[in-house]
Amino acid sequence: MVKFKSAAEEFGVEQLLLPIYYIDVPQMEADQPSDKLMAFVSTIHRVDLRALRLKNETDADHRAMVNSLASRLLKIATETEAEPAEPPSPDGTHITAVPSVEVEDAAGEAGEQADTAGFLEVLAAGEEALPKWGETIEEFSKEMQAINEATEKTTAEMESDQRSGGASFASQLSIANKLARRLGEPAANLTDLAQEYAEQLITIDPAIQTLIRFARESDELRSDENTQDTFRSIQGMAETSRQSMGQIVELANVMEESAGVSRELRRPLRAIQTALRNVSDGQEVMDDWDRQIRDLLED
At residue 93, the 3 state secondary structure works out as coil
Q: What integer is the mean pLDDT of 25-46?
A: 79
- Indicate if the pLDDT at residue 185 is higher than 90: yes
Q: Rounded CA gap, 254 and 260, in Å?
A: 11
CB 276 within 8 A of CB 262: no
d(CA 73, CA 56): 22
Residues 115-120, mean pLDDT to the nearest whole number: 68
Neighbours of 25 (CB within 10 A): 14
- Signed CA dihedral, 162, 168, 169, 175: sign only: negative
The pTM of the whole model exceeds 0.75: no
Maximum C-alpha span of the chain: 79
Neighbours of 14 (CB within 10 A): 19
pLDDT, position 273: 87
Q: Phi first, then psi: what are they for 218, rounded to 5°? A: -130, 115
Per cent of the chain over pLDDT 90 is 9
Check if the beta carbon of residue 211 is closer than 8 Å to that of residue 260.
no
What distance in Å separates the CA atoms of residue 36 and residue 42, rounded to the nearest whole number? Answer: 10
What are the extents of the domains in the chain? 2-111, 119-298
Question: According to the model, what pLDDT value does residue 189 have?
Answer: 93
Digit-coded pLDDT (tens) for 236-289 = 888 888 887 777 877 777 777 777 888 888 888 888 888 888 888 888 888 999
277 touches 252 (CB < 8 A): yes
Quote the radius of gyration of the chain (alpha carbons, Å).
24
- Spatial CA neighbour of 49 closest among 26, 77, 68: 68
pLDDT tier, 100 (very low <50, low <70, confident <90, very high otherwise): very low
pLDDT at 83: 62
- Whole-number pLDDT of residue 114: 42
| pLDDT of 90 | 44
In the chain, % of residues over pLDDT 70: 87
Between 254 and 103, the higher pLDDT residue: 254
Instruction: Give the list of residues 6+ apart from residue 20 with CB closer than 8 angstroms, or none.
Output: 46, 47, 49
DSSP-derived secondary structure letter, 118: P
User: In the predicted model, is pLDDT for residue 106 greater than 60?
Assistant: no
Residue among 90, 117, 120 nearest 215 (CA) = 90
140 band by pLDDT with thresholds 50, 70 and 90 = confident
Least confident of 7-11, 23-27, 55-59, 192-196: 7-11
Element (H, E) at 107: none
User: What pLDDT digit, counting tens, does each position of 45-66 carry?
Assistant: 778 888 888 888 788 888 888 8
Cα–Cα distance, 101 to 40 (Å, whole number) = 18
| DSSP of 195-243 | HHHHHHHHHHHHHHHHHHHHHHH-HHHHH-HHHHHHHHHHHHHHHHHHH
Query: What pLDDT score does 92 carry?
Result: 40
Q: Is 61 within 8 Å of 52 (Cβ atoms)?
A: yes
In this prediction, residue 70 carries a pLDDT of 84
- The C-alpha atoms of residue 256 and residue 82 are separated, in whole angstroms, by 49
- DSSP class of residue 26 equals G
The DSSP bridge partners found for residue 63 are none
Helix axes 225-258, 119-163, angle to 10 degrees: 40
Amino acid at position 162, single letter: Q
> Is residue 188 predicted with pLDDT exceeding 90?
yes
Across 100-128, average pLDDT: 57
Yes or no: say if 21 and 47 are a contact pair by the CB < 8 Å rule: yes
Q: pLDDT digit string (tens) for 86-99?
A: 544 444 433 333 23
209 to 3, 8, 157, 267: CA distances (angstroms): 10, 12, 50, 38
Is residue 181 over pLDDT 90? yes
- Per-residue pLDDT at 153 exceeds 70: yes
pLDDT above 90 (res 77) = no
> Is the model's pLDDT at 206 over the cut of 50?
yes
Give, as one character, the DSSP assignment of residue 98: P
